[in-house]
Structure 1
């Protein structure tokens, strides 16, 4: 059969491309032709319309809305999450073949271009749809956070190198003529101010983008204007991240409701351009400014005060909890909750590089590095406990782990879930606790070992990652030694037989 597929994950990085590769390989192994469109963070190259037209069925391996889903209308399909495609690609291919043989319809003709389209699967449960809407906003938000956060952190690092104080770069003017001079204290502070202020501007889009794209996931383009404006109002009134969540959902549902009004034909043309953005934006602004903006701002202030008030054992426990969440599902929903909590904390004001929110970010980043590094270590020192494929994956996991890409451990978890996940949970929890105890902090929301110069107490951070890696690898080796994997046994027997045959 000829199958087409679309893969996407909340961050658009690892799972998206791992699912695509797994589906293509599983399809080839089963004798089918599979073409996958990856809708990832780097954008996507749409499938050739001729390939879609010739396809017998469609696979949606996506945790986000599928862009331009109407292209596949009328074709049998299966709709699974991206992790299902990564973990059980042959099963997904088999399900797609069964759907084609059963003639499961894909949902009728495409909707008219003038009508808004809710891209999240309407047949999914309420909880799934809410998660998809939320993750759409988060996936568009993360690049702004990464760019802004790293620029801000670089600004502070350059300021320290130039001998200035952190507070100075927030108000330093940027005389362009100085920037190309030989580096000295004055020029250094100018560069620090340039990096910092550019990062602040990028970071300022965090809440509007989150709100705007939650609304977009719900109502398509009509939701963008009220969503972005609602997010900006949330920033203006101090409601921050929580306000952005509220305005995103409020704007999306409001725009979707207005777009479904029955209006005369003469008015339809101006509805998406004038009426929907005008009415929805006004209502969102009215509600935020007059009703819920200040209560949410008070809640955000309380959350910030609570975080800054944590110390000692409470911080260590929080680090252990966040570490366990990062190590539990390796890039899945629980992992993303912990990461999003840390990232949004960066948007609150902290004092100094050791502010609690920066320590939380460091704990989450370190814990997220542990599982892939541990699998790489374990598959290197005890090769006989792993399949040939896992040994090859272990080589790539070194780089993935160092780069803070937790998904590098997924091939190991897919092959041996409970032993890998239990070990990862323990080791990552230990790492999170050690980071908090050491007081390491980082303003950059991503980067792993490559942003080590931006981390306060980098020695404590590296020590925490190393300890967690050793603990996780040790547990995996111990658990696998107690009961070796049957696939590994079969491979070893085949290798032994091959040696005997060669010798003969």
Structure 2
């Protein structure tokens, strides 16, 4: 990586402007002037798109904006030390040190490697101090190059001390896992924060495994076997968690490891000496319930497990649903009448006509030839993906509760739910049941000789048996009756009842913007999409339109009344409209997080309006995702657009009114501060 930065890419003590847009544009121009990008504007646009998703400010008043771009010719790192600090949404104020990491669009993960190495150095006070004290561009290049390309270490001197069992009983051996949702900055900053704290103490030995975007190197099993305690500093699930089964554990979010590393290490030491401390549960491990002592209640754990199942199910729905919609687009809207026969009986060298014999009945289609055949192939592929949604929901819900031993029984339960007609409701039930049963069986105390068989044979076998018996003998028929009743109710909706359902779904989609309530509404919509009935398609159109309202409305509001929003919100507003058009409700989260009392009610008002109009006009969607980009799969498209526009107008007007007549003091103060800076710089 020695060529990613040179003196032509460094700017010391410069004023690049008062906003993140100004700074990123300035650094993009530096990259372009150095011959590393074909267009400064294109690079800046890509970096700003990434910035709009979440601020790149990190502790130490440093910012690390980054992106991939078609305009970039080779991995590049530009640096600026600012005389006028700028707000990058960092935890400790405006940033005066900014790195712009630019990578080619097809350049693999080079920029992530650069980013992770930088992030690991940013917790080191001497590195930040060196950046502030450097007098020349050459000094900056040398300081940065030293962390991107560290000198090779003596393999003998570099051998980790923690790999050798400690000889002193006063030394506590701790292992740790760090992981954040993006797997970039915070993952490595937490690891180095813990490591540096441990290095300054003589009562602890610490080894950390980072589960980030760069290659993950699993910890040596010998180190785990010798560990007295484990720290999980993660915002996501721990990969291969069962490796640490039976070890006392301290768990928290990744940011706590950055901010309170000494306290977490002290807690881990205390846990290692407490016989009643909470321990990691694992497959085949005899870990008693009181040892596990979960911090979360069972209600919260089950809720999180269901959300995990939904998140794993969504790709099946999105891929399968869009393929079904494409099948209709190519093969015609009567594709559902004979897709299986067309896809299996014909080929590229034997294309179908418009009349086909299906089970002895001559069936006529609107299309013929290649379009009909290709549409059937797309539809068949989509049906294959949609056939997995209940099993995926059930399997990964069980996985979230019991780990890998729960996957097979969960998938089996989902398949049984489809067989008996219990649908997605049955999938939810079997996923939770399989997870709880597998978790219970994994706590059994068994002879050591059969412990190794528990996770791969005994737990899946017994749990699948229990789930199958319960579904076929007890729950299958009642759940199937519920599904039939639900489908009949949806099919009978008309007039005011349909409008009421649209209002409810619109409120749910805009309540938590991608959270559990939003996901529950989305699951309800996608569950019936594969049936192709009119009511299910109307629900899907309503849910998609309502979910698009918040990001679009907030974007328009920031453009119409800038003074009601902070500079950071104004920047987010420049791109949130695109997220809204693509049906990404999460684009409005930065606004709702900053001012929930005004934003969320306004968004719910618009969502309810959209839902009511969409259902009243009988709009249906054959696609489960894609927003405006799948308008061809929505009918009538004009009714859907009317509903979307009406809801967006309502949300925009309401949020502006609430912010105007019930101002947020914190927002007003930040806006006033920004205006004062602009006047001073004028």
* TM-score normalised by the chain length of structure 1: 0.81
Relative to structure 1, the CA distance from residue 176 to residue 332 in structure 2 (aligned partners, 3 Å threshold; closer, same or farther) is: same
Relative to structure 1, the CA distance from residue 276 to residue 499 in structure 2 (aligned partners, 3 Å threshold; closer, same or farther) is: closer
Uncovered stretches (5+) of structure 1, i.e. residues with no partner = 1-13, 81-91
Q: How does 1:15-164 map to 2 (within 5 A)?
A: 26-27=90-91, 29=93, 33=123, 37-39=179-181, 51=192, 54=195, 59-62=233-236, 65-68=237-240, 78-79=252-253, 96-97=259-260, 100=263, 103-105=266-268, 115=285, 122-160=294-332
Q: How does 1:95-494 map to 2 (within 5 A)?
A: 96-97=259-260, 100=263, 103-105=266-268, 115=285, 122-160=294-332, 166-174=336-344, 175-178=346-349, 185-347=368-530, 349-351=531-533, 355-494=534-673
SS of residue in 1 equivalent to 2:593: helix
Shift of 1:293: 1.2
Relative to structure 1, the CA distance from residue 334 to residue 179 in structure 2 (aligned partners, 3 Å threshold; closer, same or farther) is: farther
Relative to structure 1, the CA distance from residue 286 to residue 468 in structure 2 (aligned partners, 3 Å threshold; closer, same or farther) is: same
CA RMSD of aligned residues (A): 3.8
| Aligned mates of 2:422, 2:463 — CA distance in 1 | 19
Q: Which has the higher helix share?
A: 1
Q: Larger relative contact order (C-alpha < 8 A, sep ≥ 6)? A: 1
| Aligned mates of 2:652, 2:385 — CA distance in 1 | 39
Provide Cα deviations, 1:72-93, integer angstroms capped at 9, x if missing partner.
Answer: 987865349xxxxxxxxxxx66
Shift of 1:416: 1.7
| Aligned mates of 1:484, 1:142 — CA distance in 2 | 38
Shift of 1:272: 2.4
Shift of 1:454: 0.9
Contact 2:544–2:625 (8 Å) recurs in 1: yes
Uncovered stretches (5+) of structure 2, i.e. residues with no partner = 1-48, 60-88, 96-121, 125-176, 198-230, 273-278, 355-366
Which residue of the partner structure matches residue 3 of structure 1? Answer: none
SS of residue in 1 equivalent to 2:342: coil
Contact 1:77–1:105 (8 Å) recurs in 2: no
Provide Cα deviations, 1:176-213, integer angstroms capped at 9, x if missing partner.
Answer: 324999x9722111011101111111111111111111
Larger radius of gyration: 2
Relative to structure 1, the CA distance from residue 344 to residue 269 in structure 2 (aligned partners, 3 Å threshold; closer, same or farther) is: same
Q: Which has the higher strand share?
A: 2
Contact 1:116–1:256 (8 Å) recurs in 2: no
Relative to structure 1, the CA distance from residue 201 to residue 357 in structure 2 (aligned partners, 3 Å threshold; closer, same or farther) is: same
Contact 1:160–1:166 (8 Å) recurs in 2: no
Provide Cα deviations, 1:163-187, integer angstroms capped at 9, x if missing partner.
Answer: x554132432343324999x97221
Contact 1:178–1:190 (8 Å) recurs in 2: no
**Alignment length, in residue pairs?**
467
Shift of 1:389: 0.9
| Aligned mates of 1:459, 1:234 — CA distance in 2 | 38
Shift of 1:276: 2.0
SS of residue in 1 equivalent to 2:551: helix
| Aligned mates of 1:158, 1:461 — CA distance in 2 | 22
Provide Cα deviations, 1:56-75, integer angstroms capped at 9, x if missing partner.
Answer: 5865435xx44345899878
Contact 2:591–2:599 (8 Å) recurs in 1: yes
Provide Cα deviations, 1:80-139, integer angstroms capped at 9, x if missing partner.
Answer: 9xxxxxxxxxxx669943982793339657667853999x99211222111111111111
| Aligned mates of 2:590, 2:529 — CA distance in 1 | 31
SS of residue in 2 equivalent to 1:177: coil
Shift of 1:309: 0.9
| Aligned mates of 1:297, 1:263 — CA distance in 2 | 38
